[in-house]
Amino acid sequence: MPLAFTPITRYKLRKLVKYGLVTTAVAWVLTLFSGEPFGAKLGAWALLGLWTGVLEEFLFRRRFRALAIPLQFLGKALLVNLLTVALIGLAYITGQEHFRLLVAEEPYRVRDILGMTLFYQLAVRVSVVSTVALLVVQLEELMGRRQFMGFLLGRYESPKAEERIVLTMDLVGSTALAERMGDLRYYRFLNQVYSLMTDALLRNEAEIHKYVGDEVIFTWPMRVGVRYENCLDLYFDIMERIQQHAEELKGDFGVVPQYRAAVHGGRVISAQIGHIKRAIDLSGDVMNSVSRMLGLAKEMKTDLLVSAELLERIPKAHERFTIGPQHTLPVKGRRREVRVHTVQRHAKAVS
């Protein structure tokens, strides 16, 4: 029977694989320019990448969050390289008789290695490869996988039609909260709330399309969003996560945030926009409709509105969700109305 990994586990495994692949690719480029044979060292560089990924993801990931992004990267790179070089030198401490350097053809006595130029050449090479791998993976996380790969492969140079689901969430009473907290404290508040959303985001395999002030727009490829009702669970998982940290938020900011949301799916146009500042944007009828649906959710003071079109693609939704009565919503620019339903979850999602 095949192993069933949770989305969070799959995310972590994919990240370790990314480190392994990027590290191997960078090492291959350096070796190519040096003229040395590479094949025999392939596994060693891949292991270095996995080691770098384990350190970054499981040891250092949350320890630098309070710092600016450049300082986060520098701190992680410094500690990863120090531990990696220390691991290489561990052979001396363990008293092994021989230790084969990655860049050497012949084994050397461990006690002689620390006095050799070759050891320090290896340490520099390992540090360069690990640092570049960290930079690439951190940049991919900062931009988002879809946008990073889109730019890298030129996928969105021309507009592309896709079947996607879009969920937009808006903070209730944001204007009053901003006035009460002041600009700086309000954005610290938003940042902490967005950070709390991370686990729910990974669990439901969503991508963040963009932040628009106090509004967050999530998206999925259609097949991923309807799988396990991910597009419906995300909102409720986020609100559950916020409630778990309610005391902390109330103590720090005096408020527990509430969100209203709308979710719709169908054909969207994805394209790269801009020249000096580039981004991948979504446009089309789905984006217009979901924006209008969010406005209706505010008017109705309901938590979540879902289009009837999307619910038709989620046949098992009624098993874990209470589907409310249908409402019709005129959308500017459309020849027909959008049918929407309120949705409440009546059973906790199974991770």
For 48-101, write each residue's pLDDT tens digit: 899 888 988 888 766 776 676 778 788 888 888 888 888 776 655 454 444 454
Query: Range of 63's domain?
Result: 7-143
**Claim to verify: residue 286 and residue 173 sit in the same structural domain:** yes
**Claim to verify: residue 123 and residue 170 sit in the same structural domain:** no
- Classify residue 47: in a domain, yes or no: yes
**Claim to verify: residue 237 and residue 90 sit in the same structural domain:** no
- Give the whole-number percent of the chain exceeding pLDDT 90: 44
What tokens does 155 get? 């996928």
- Classify residue 288: in a domain, yes or no: yes
- Classify residue 351: in a domain, yes or no: no
pLDDT at residue 90, as a whole number = 67
**Claim to verify: residue 111 and residue 214 sit in the same structural domain:** no
Query: Final residue of a domain: which of 119, 143, 167?
Result: 143
**Claim to verify: residue 151 and residue 138 sit in the same structural domain:** no
What's the total number of domains in the chain? 2
pLDDT at residue 10, as a whole number = 81
What tokens does 16 get? 């370790």
Per DSSP, 3 falls in state: -
Q: Is the pLDDT reported for residue 115 higher than 70?
A: no
- Classify residue 1: in a domain, yes or no: no
**Claim to verify: residue 189 and residue 302 sit in the same structural domain:** yes
Q: Give yes or no for a contact between 150 and 272, defined as CB atoms under 8 angstroms apart.
A: yes
What does the pLDDT look like over 266-282, one tens digit per residue?
999 988 777 676 777 88
pLDDT band at 265 (very low <50, low <70, confident <90, very high): very high
Q: Is the pLDDT reported for residue 1 higher than 50?
A: no
- Compute the distance between CA of residue 232 and CA of residue 319 in angstroms, rounded to an integer: 12
Q: Is the pLDDT reported for residue 143 higher than 60?
A: yes
Q: What angle do CA 14, 201, 238 make, to 5 degrees?
A: 155
**Claim to verify: residue 152 and residue 137 sit in the same structural domain:** no
Q: What integer best gives the mean pLDDT of the chain?
A: 83
**Claim to verify: residue 101 and residue 227 sit in the same structural domain:** no
- Classify residue 2: in a domain, yes or no: no
Long-range contacts of 134-141 (CB under 8 A, 24+ apart): 134/52, 134/56, 134/73, 134/76, 134/77, 134/80, 135/73, 135/77, 136/22, 136/26, 137/15, 137/18, 137/19, 137/22, 137/53, 137/56, 138/72, 138/73, 138/76, 140/18
